[in-house]
Amino acid sequence: MKKLFIFASILLLAISCNTGKYISTSAIGLVNLQNYAAKSAIDLPYTYNYMVITNQQDFDNTFGIAKSGNINITYPGFAGQTVIACVAQPTTNNVTIHFDKAEVAGKELNVYCTTTEGSEHLKNAIIPVAVATVPKVMDVKKVVFYTNGEKVMTKAVSFKEKEEKEINTANENNTNDTKPVVLKRMMRRPAVI
């Protein structure tokens, strides 16, 4: 009888334990960056091209500052941030792209954006761009992009071991939070004499 009770207890325990893993999602901060333009529209195979950028050199090779009068520029800090971007092919339609939110689910980063196409046609072709930063999550292995509620692309991401060591060293030696740098560029008016 005692053996039957132990066997029944173990069986009940095994049945009551849920063997399937439930991965909860955690929302993370997403900051849309303004006044950036794609440096080139060459090699854009899709209508909307999604990117994950983990270092300054790749960012500088892909994006430049939009030419405009008075603008504020926020530069990403790659020590603690990852850049996500969407670049559309050149178009004369009034297309807008906006990142809405990001969340971490296990080893995936889910990024949600909205694209709209207005009925207004422009005289000159433009390259619609959306650039945003999210906190760097070292456990993330892939980024999944959702546009207008539909899964559109998955990108593998890896952080170089050198970057990881630099970040860990920086966190040990620095108690301040890393924040993006905001610079203002203003057109100067000539002095009136």
What percent of the chain is predicted at pLDDT more than 90? 58
37-46, 76-85, 178-187: least confidently modelled range:
178-187
pLDDT digits (tens, 9 = 90+) for 111-154: 999 999 988 888 999 999 999 999 999 999 999 999 999 999 99
pLDDT of residue 93: 93
Q: Residue 174 — pLDDT band, cuts 50, 70, 90?
A: very low
pLDDT of residue 100: 98
pLDDT of residue 177: 47
pLDDT digits (tens, 9 = 90+) for 65-74: 987 655 678 8
Nearest to 34 by CA among 63, 58, 2: 63
* H-assigned helices in the chain: 2-16, 56-62, 161-173
Tokens 């800090």 -> residue: 77
Tell me, yes or no, if the pTM score tops 0.85. no
Tokens 């603690």 -> residue: 80
pLDDT of residue 14: 63
pLDDT digits (tens, 9 = 90+) for 150-173: 999 999 998 765 444 444 434 444
CB 38 within 8 A of CB 127: yes
pLDDT of residue 158: 84
Within 10 Å of residue 83's Cβ, how many Cβ atoms? 23
Q: Which two tokens stand for residue 153?
A: 């692309």
pLDDT digits (tens, 9 = 90+) for 32-65: 999 999 998 888 899 999 999 999 999 999 999 9
